A = this chain, B = another copy of it.
């Protein structure tokens, strides 16, 4: 399963591990996260697009590039992203995908050559544009190598991506979540989230922890 929450959890996780964060502990509730407070962890959270009181940071992806975070462990809870990870917990492998590690994920999927679900986190259990456009980008990178034709959702996501690719950020201006975050003045986060291939890292979730995947 590839977990996709472009604005902004999956982009933030990729940025963090790219920066050299040692590991990320995703938790579902704010209470679970706060239980880690004062024990040497960095606490990151987001609810309805905003940072929660008592946390060290929100989920602006650029903030995870801070050199102070190198080697640290981050406890992370977001509205949709950590729920998606939780939903996928029975999967054999759980990776985190974003535009910033698009090629790395695509190449690893081709090499792995196994049945894969692209799990779009969406927003409050609804379909959203940006996660599906990313899923389409991933399909477009792997469809010459893997069978994507037996799934209408994958084909449709790819068609959507081809409508978007010439001006990805401009295309995503239409998205409801873009507009929701724009009202919170988070345009920079969204611009960052549409940069392709800034990172080579693949975050993998295993035994409750997200780390950089060690490709054998």
Contacts and interface: CB of A to CB of B under 8 A. Distances in A.
A160 to B, nearest CB: 6
A175 interface: yes
Interface of A: 123, 126-129, 132, 149-153, 155-156, 159-160, 163, 174-177
Instruction: Determine chain A's interface SS by DSSP, over half rule.
Output: helix
Contact of A153 (B126, B149, B150, B163): B126
Contact of A127 (B129, B156, B174): B156
CB-CB nearest 6 A-B residue pairs? A127-B153, A129-B152, A128-B152, A152-B176, A159-B163, A127-B152
Contacts of A160: 156, 159-160
26 contacts: A123-B152, A126-B151, A126-B152, A126-B153, A127-B152, A127-B153, A127-B156, A128-B152, A129-B152, A129-B155, A129-B156, A132-B156, A149-B174, A149-B176, A150-B176, A151-B176, A152-B175, A152-B176, A152-B177, A155-B174, A155-B175, A156-B160, A159-B160, A159-B163, A160-B160, A163-B163
Contacts of A152: 123, 126-129, 175-177
